[in-house]
Amino acid sequence: MTRGPYTYTLSHGPDTVVRLLLNDIPFYRVPHQRDRGITETCPVDHWLVPGLNTFDIELAFAEERYFITFSIEESYDREHPIFRYEWPRVYRTLPIVRQFPFVHGSSFTVPDLTFRSVHLDAPCSAFPLSGNEAQQRAVMRLYDTLLRADADAFMDAMALKTAELNRAYDGHPLVNPDKVRGQFRERFSRGLTVKPVSVDELVFESRADGRVAYVTRKDGGQPIDVETPTGEWMAHDLWLTFHNGDWRVFR
């Protein structure tokens, strides 16, 4: 019997300032206090590795009356998660003073994961927070496709990411490269409003032993910040890895 995807379910209250990492790679963050909380369930196979996995929480602020819960389930089975983490309940098992920032890690094992992320086979690299030229070029090349609202060039720049998602989720229609290309052609067809970015504004954080460059803005913003005329908003961080002789977006 073919299993469904692994998913994560995350819930936290308003005013929470937090960053979550899987296998030393940030995948969720709230850099500034907001007046609303969140509950979401998302596919997570592409953030996992076969066998032993790690989970880390970097919590700058939260009110203890609002729990932070994070769990990973197989085939949407929330009753039997393979991993669950709760704050502030975790304090019961830790001989520490309750203060911020709170940084804590856990580990868990993922059974039956056949997907292996391309970054695991990348070389370990050393680079500054300003990034190296190849990393900077990869981000600005993607940014240029947005300025031109060129959906095909955008998809070419994101080809490794699209291929990874397609592979992680066994060709699911939502990540099918041809379907995704058509969606972006439609989304870009009436032009885009793009928040300006320059290399000097970017931070390239070394993660996973230098196999991954995690890209954000120095002010805490996201390097990709775009709006369509119909109000669709596309804003996210970037994750680069070295593949086939160059640094490329893979998440």
Mean pLDDT value across residues 203-229: 97
Q: Rounded CA gap, 142 and 236, in Å?
A: 13
127, 135 Cβ separation under 8 angstroms: yes
Peptide bond into 26 cis (omega under 30): no
Banded model confidence at residue 113, pLDDT cuts 50, 70, 90: very high
Per-residue pLDDT band at 2 (split at 50, 70, 90):
low
How far apart, in whole angstroms, are the C-alpha atoms of residue 148 and residue 23? 35
**Tokens representing residue 19 in the block:** 């960053």
Looking at residues 173-187, what average pLDDT do you find? 94
pLDDT in tens, 17-63: 999 999 999 999 999 999 999 999 999 999 999 999 999 999 999 99
Q: What is the pLDDT of residue 1?
A: 47
Q: How far apart, in whole angstroms, are the C-alpha atoms of residue 65 and residue 132?
A: 43
pLDDT digits (tens, 9 = 90+) for 126-145: 999 999 999 999 999 999 99
What pTM value is reported for the model?
0.95
Q: How much of the chain exceeds pLDDT 90, in percent?
A: 91
68-74 β-sheet, strand order: 38-43, 6-12, 68-74, 83-87
Q: What is the mean pLDDT of residues 166-173?
A: 91
Distance of CA 75 to the CA centre of its chain: 21
d(CA 4, CA 230): 34
Q: Per the structure block, which two tokens stand in for 120?
A: 């695991």
Averaged confidence pLDDT in the chain:
95
How do residues 64-92 score in pLDDT, each as one tens digit?
Answer: 999 999 999 998 899 999 999 999 999 88
DSSP the chain: -----EEEEEEE-TT-EEEEEETTEEEEEE-S--S--EEEEEE-GGG--SEEEEEEEEEEE--TTS-EEEEEEETT-TTS-SEEEEETGGGGG--S---SSEEEEEEEEE-S-----GGGGSPP----TT--HHHHHHHHHHHHHHHTT-HHHHHHHTHHHHHHHHHHTTT-GGG-HHHHHHHHHHHHTT--EE----GGGEEEEEETTTTEEEEEETTS--SEEEE-TT--EEEE-EEEEEETTEEEE--
Backbone angles phi, psi at 2, to 5 degrees: -80, 130
Residue 52 pLDDT: 98
Using an 8 Å Cβ cutoff, are 160 and 135 in contact?
A: no
Q: Tokens for 187? A: 């989304």
User: For residue 21, what are its two tokens?
Assistant: 């990492």
Question: What number is the average pLDDT over the span 197-217?
Answer: 98
Task: Quickly count: other Cβ atoms within 10 Å of residue 13's Cβ.
Answer: 16
Checking if the pLDDT of 3 tops 80, the result is no
